[in-house]
Amino acid sequence: MMGEEFVALSLTPILIGTLAAIACALPGNFLLLRRQALIGDAISHVVLPGIVVAFLITGVVAAVPMMLGAAGAAVVAVVMIEAIRRLGKIEPGAAMGVTFTAMFAGGVLLLEQSDTSTVHLDVEHALFGNLESLIWLDATGWSSLWDRDALAYLPVELPRLLAVLIVVALFTWIYWRPLKLSTFDEGFAQSMGIRTGPLGFALVIVAALAAVAAFDAVGSIIVIAMFICPPAAARLMTNSLGAQVAWSVLFATLSAVLGYVFAGYGPIWLGANNAVSAAGMIAAVSGVILAITAVAGPCRSRSGAPAEG
């Protein structure tokens, strides 16, 4: 499994899955602690209408307009949720429910009404992604990693997700202190002059960016699962924010790698011939990790946290 075939068929999907998982897990940590875990759910639903609208306007399936369309949809969704919550005095969960179902429904209908038969754009792709197809056919083995010509034919999702992950990581690193402070104690942060409103909005936009890039490659199930499961499992492992983020990166990586391997090889080990959905399996593995930490994580309960020092 580690030979030429691995590099050509499995290496790039695994890397893409891992990058997507980490890019979503990083902002997911803060969303989790802010009790906004479901924002990830909402964003991943509204990416579809964003992409469809971008396609209808430009007429092509290209990365940049679709990213812009999806990011725009995320902004519309966040503004709409806030507007419903504040103006209608509706609790945030219900406001989210109204917003993302309506936008998702609009996206599906637009998609069904428009002629997308020539392009690869459909609801199932949006939900499950297409991780298995992101292969690197020009690779002939590990040496291809140093081969300029082969590298030129890497799936475009790989460098794109790498770029997005760098942006997400930089945002997390640069704004670590304000993010930490405003998540823990918003009033105090404001008294220090931190503009918590715009910062919270920026966090959601960064999460949306991660969701959009990941969505294109791996579909919305992974996006939701990676926003929530690795950070949640990580929270049960530690009582330090830095360590929590590190654990969440580890769990995201584990989910992506194991999920891809199980989806591709699991059925074969069990005697079946065909692989199952990698996206679904990655979400399932992240769920198993969360279940294990919920049963055995050292910091799983509020009261039973061990004293450190």
Partner 1 sequence: MLWHALTLQLGYNATLVTLGAMLLGVAAGVTGTFLFLRKRALVSDAISHATLPGVGMAFIIMVALGGDGRSLIGLMLGSAASAWIGLLCIGALTRRTRLAEDAAIGAVLSVFFGIGIVFLTFIQTMSEGRQAGLEGFLLGSTAGMLYSDAMIIAVGGALVLAAVIAFRRPLSAVAFDPEFAASSGLNVPRLDLIMMGLVMAITVVGLKIVGLILIVALLIIPAVTARFWSERVTGVLWVAGVVGGVAGYVGAALSAIAPALPTGPVIVLVLFAMFALSLLFAPARGVLAAVLKHLSFQKRVHIRQGLLALAQGQPIYEKLTLRLLQRAGFARADGVATTDGKARAAKALRDETRWQMARSREEFALAATFYDGLTEIEGVLTRDQINELDRLIGAPRGVPV
Partner 2 sequence: MTPLELATSNGARLQNAHAGAALAIRGMTVSYGQKPAVFSVDMSVPVGSMTAIIGPNGAGKSTLLKAALGVIKPLAGTATVFGQPVADARARIAYVPQRASVDWDFPTRVLDVVLMGLYRELGLLGRLRGTHKAKAMDCLARVGMQDFASRQIGQLSGGQQQRVFLARALAQNADLYLLDEPFAGVDAATEKAIIDVLKSLRAEGKTVVAVHHDLSTVADYFDRVFLINTTRVAEGTVEEAFTPQTLQEAYGGRLATGQLGQTALGA
| Positions in the binding site for partner 2 (CB under 8 A) | 33, 173-175, 177-178, 180-181, 183-185, 187-188, 190-193, 235, 238-241, 243-244, 299, 302, 305, 307-309
Q: How many other CB atoms are there within 10 angstroms of residue 87's CB atom?
A: 9
Residue 10: other Cβ atoms inside 10 A = 19
Measured distance CA(71)–CA(67) in Å, rounded:
6
Tell me how far, at minimum, the Cβ of 40 lies from partner 1, in Å: 7
Nearest to 134 by CA among 266, 305, 8, 268: 8
263 near partner 1 (CB under 8 A): yes
Two structure tokens written together for 139: 């690779």
For residue 259, what are the contacts with CB-CB under 8 A and spacing of at least 6? 17, 278, 281, 282, 283, 284, 285, 286
300 belongs to the binding site for partner 1 (CB under 8 A): yes
Question: Could you give the CA distance from residue 101 to residue 257 in angstroms, rounded to a whole number?
Answer: 31
Q: How far is the CB of 31 from partner 2 (least distance, A)?
A: 14
Q: How far is the CB of 298 from partner 2 (least distance, A)?
A: 12
CB 219 within 8 A of CB 129: yes
Site for partner 1 in 163-202 (CB under 8 A): none
Which does residue 308 bind out of partner 2, partner 1, none, counting CB within 5 to 8 angstroms by kind?
Answer: partner 2
* Shortest distance, position 207 Cβ to partner 2, whole Å: 19
- Using CB under 8 A, list all residues that contact partner 1: 32, 35-38, 40-41, 83-84, 87-91, 93-98, 101-102, 104-106, 108-109, 112, 123-124, 127-128, 221-222, 224-225, 227-229, 232, 235-236, 263, 267, 272-277, 279-284, 286-287, 290, 294, 297, 299-302
